[in-house]
């Protein structure tokens, strides 16, 4: 069913919904951007329709609702522990199509990668209902069409905001009663069909080409350009790496809490192991790892899609203006070069 409601009507419905749901959406934090006089847009609990930022892409992805940058896993004393509590309410999350696809990748990593599911992710994921936010024309760093993530039908409701009103499609039976008194209106979301930014992800034909690609000089440029800050992975819709640490309370050093905090493969020390072993010493090696993970290794492991959803958030966040889209294009050229050289070698 489709509806049109004013922001005032939406606020009244949000009031009712909040007895059962936490409502999360991208919200503008004025003056909190990383440059002076700039804003930051990130996910937060909202209570009113005018708190939702409909017109710009968020700087940080929807994944932060389910996996915050830092969270407590459990509390411990000398001889016992207690798991942290998750919210009792269901979660209504406003998401763009790329975030919906990113959730699919997160589920693969947290719930289906190995013999056990991550219970902390699972307890949140089970509560989610998605409100799909229409993107209009998209933004200058998006390349969702190239990655096939511009469309989805996996949502409980879809929304377009126009002139202080919302057009909604409600698919979910549990949500429908909240809207039954609203004016009917025809609405189904439209999707971005073309981005200004396009990316050609190369097919890496065999292991020999992959090995040569790892040795290719294209990665060396990042030794100079990338400052290994990790901003790209923190903003990434699909990165899942985290580290754990114990916070010990001052009053009783046998009591404390274990936290997990997002980690970045782009930061020096990420691969440090006991015995002084380090797998990726340079920024170029770390960039190579990230790019191949997003555009080759994940798909080789799960045999469905590339991990990157083309949200472009890493491009927007990088202080050194490093574009993953341009890097993938360079990788495509390098794969062509290596393949041609192997063919020439084979023909000799
Ligand atoms: S690698 Fe960049 S474009 Fe791809 S999902 Fe992550 S943040 Fe988005
Ligand atoms: S690519 Fe950019 S954002 Fe990512 S670690 Fe390097 S400098 Fe930082």
Answer yes or no: is 27 within a domain: yes
Whether residue 292 is predicted with pLDDT greater than 80 in this model: the reply is yes
Whether residue 346 is predicted with pLDDT greater than 80 in this model: the reply is no
Q: Does residue 107 share a domain with residue 25?
A: yes
Distance (Å, whole) CA 224 – CA 19: 53
Distance (Å, whole) CA 2 – CA 165: 13
Number of other CB atoms surrounding residue 221 within 10 Å: 15
Q: Does residue 296 share a domain with residue 176?
A: no
Contacts of 256 (CB under 8 A, 6+ apart): 75, 76, 246, 247, 248, 249
Range with the largest mean pLDDT of 112-116, 242-246, 343-347: 242-246
Q: Does residue 157 share a domain with residue 110?
A: yes
pLDDT at site 114? 85
Give the residue numbers spanning the domain of 293: 207-239+264-347
Q: Is 231 in the pocket of ligand 1 (CB under 6 A)?
A: no
Q: Does residue 172 share a domain with residue 40?
A: yes
Who has greater pLDDT, 1 or 5?
A: 5
- Count of structural domains, the chain: 2
Whether residue 42 is predicted with pLDDT greater than 80 in this model: the reply is yes
Distance (Å, whole) CA 189 – CA 150: 12
pLDDT at site 149? 98
Q: Is 199 in the pocket of ligand 1 (CB under 6 A)?
A: no
The residues lining ligand 2, judged by C-beta closer than 6 Å to any ligand atom, are 226-232, 266, 317-320, 322
pLDDT at site 345? 82
Answer yes or no: is 244 within a domain: no
- The alpha carbon of 236 and the centre of ligand 2 are apart by a number of angstroms equal to 11
pLDDT at site 251? 84
The string of pLDDT tens digits covering residues 144-172 is: 999 999 999 999 999 999 999 999 999 99
- The alpha carbon of 317 and the centre of ligand 2 are apart by a number of angstroms equal to 8
Distance (Å, whole) CA 197 – CA 210: 26
Whether residue 327 is predicted with pLDDT greater than 90 in this model: the reply is yes
Contacts of 181 (CB under 8 A, 6+ apart): none
Q: Is 286 in the pocket of ligand 1 (CB under 6 A)?
A: no
Answer yes or no: is 142 within a domain: yes
CB 131 within 8 A of CB 92: yes
Q: Does residue 95 share a domain with residue 24?
A: yes
Answer yes or no: is 257 within a domain: no
Number of other CB atoms surrounding residue 258 within 10 Å: 15
CB 144 within 8 A of CB 192: yes
| Residue % of the chain over a pLDDT of 90 | 93
HEC-encoded secondary structure of 209-276: HHHHHHHCHHHHHHHHHCCCCCHHHHCCCCCCCEEEEEEECCCCCCCEEEEEEECCCCCCCCCCECCC
Long-range contacts of range 148-154, CB-CB < 8 Å, 24 or more positions apart? 148/305, 149/97, 149/98, 149/101, 149/102, 149/309, 149/310, 150/97, 150/98, 150/191, 150/192, 150/193, 150/195, 151/97, 151/191, 152/97, 152/100, 152/101, 154/100, 154/104, 154/130
Mutate to test the pocket of ligand 1, among 237, 286, 321, 328 (most ligand atoms within 8 A of CB): 237
Answer yes or no: is 318 within a domain: yes
Q: Is 237 in the pocket of ligand 1 (CB under 6 A)?
A: yes
End-to-end CA distance of the chain: 66
Q: Does residue 233 share a domain with residue 119?
A: no
Q: Does residue 269 share a domain with residue 313?
A: yes
| Average pLDDT score over residue span 182-209 | 95
Q: Does residue 214 share a domain with residue 146?
A: no
Confidence of residue 178 (pLDDT cuts 50, 70, 90): very high
pLDDT at site 347? 62
Across the chain, mean pLDDT equals 96
Answer yes or no: is 330 within a domain: yes
Who has greater pLDDT, 345 or 274?
A: 274
pLDDT at site 15? 97
Q: Does residue 166 share a domain with residue 272?
A: no
Q: Does residue 136 share a domain with residue 9?
A: yes
Mutate to test the pocket of ligand 2, among 285, 318, 323, 328 (most ligand atoms within 8 A of CB): 318
For ligand 1, atom 6, the nearest C-alpha belongs to: 236
Distance (Å, whole) CA 270 – CA 242: 10
CB 4 within 8 A of CB 183: yes
- Decide which of 184, 199, 220 is a domain's last residue: 184
Answer yes or no: is 338 within a domain: yes
pLDDT at site 134? 97
Nearest ligand 1 atom to alpha carbon 143: 3
Q: Does residue 305 share a domain with residue 221?
A: yes
- The alpha carbon of 220 and the centre of ligand 2 are apart by a number of angstroms equal to 14
Rg (Cα) of the chain, in Å, rounded? 22
pLDDT at site 253? 87
Nearest ligand 1 atom to alpha carbon 313: 7
Nearest ligand 2 atom to alpha carbon 317: 3
Q: Does residue 225 share a domain with residue 122?
A: no
Whether residue 102 is predicted with pLDDT greater than 90 in this model: the reply is yes
| Residue % of the chain over a pLDDT of 70 | 99
For ligand 1, atom 7, the nearest C-alpha belongs to: 236
Whether residue 348 is predicted with pLDDT greater than 80 in this model: the reply is no
Whether residue 131 is predicted with pLDDT greater than 90 in this model: the reply is yes
Answer yes or no: is 252 within a domain: no
pLDDT at site 344? 87
Which ligand has an atom closest to residue 195 CA?
1
157-162 and 128-133 as β-strands: parallel, antiparallel, unpaired? parallel
């Amino acid at each position: 069913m489709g509806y049109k409601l004013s922001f005032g009507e939406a606020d009244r419905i949000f009031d009712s919904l909040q007895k059962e749901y936490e409502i999360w959406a991208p919200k503008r934090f004025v003056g909190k951007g990383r440059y002076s006089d700039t804003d930051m847009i990130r996910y937060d609990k909202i209570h009113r329709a005018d708190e939702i930022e409909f017109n710009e892409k968020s700087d940080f992805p929807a994944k932060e609702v389910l996996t915050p940058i830092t969270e407590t896993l459990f509390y411990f004393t000398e001889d016992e522990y207690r798991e942290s509590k998750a919210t009792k309410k269901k979660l209504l999350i406003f998401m763009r199509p790329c975030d919906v696809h990113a959730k699919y990748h997160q589920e693969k990593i947290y719930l289906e990668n190995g013999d056990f599911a991550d219970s902390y992710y699972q307890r949140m994921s089970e509560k989610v209902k998605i409100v799909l936010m229409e993107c209009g024309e998209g933004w200058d760093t998006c390349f969702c069409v190239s990655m096939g993530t511009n469309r989805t039908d996996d949502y409980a409701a879809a929304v377009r905001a126009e002139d202080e009103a919302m057009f909604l499609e409600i698919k979910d039976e549990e949500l429908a009663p909240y809207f039954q008194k609203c004016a009917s209106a025809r609405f189904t979301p439209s999707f971005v069909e073309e981005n200004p930014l396009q990316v050609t992800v190369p097919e890496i034909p065999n292991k020999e080409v992959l090995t040569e690609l790892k040795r290719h000089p294209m990665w060396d440029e990042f030794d100079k350009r990338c400052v290994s800050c990790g901003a790209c992975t923190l903003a990434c819709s699909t990165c899942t790496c985290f580290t754990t640490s114990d916070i010990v309370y001052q009053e009783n050093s046998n009591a404390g809490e274990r936290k997990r905090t997002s980690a970045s493969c782009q930061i020096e020390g990420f691969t440090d192991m006991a015995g002084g072993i380090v797998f990726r010493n340079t920024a170029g090696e770390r960039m190579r790892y990230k790019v191949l993970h997003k555009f080759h290794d994940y798909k080789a492991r799960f045999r469905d899609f590339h991990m990157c959803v083309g949200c472009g958030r890493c491009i927007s966040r990088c202080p050194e203006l490093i574009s993953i889209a341009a890097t993938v294009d360079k990788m495509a050229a390098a794969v062509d070069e290596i393949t041609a050289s192997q063919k020439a070698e084979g023909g000799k």
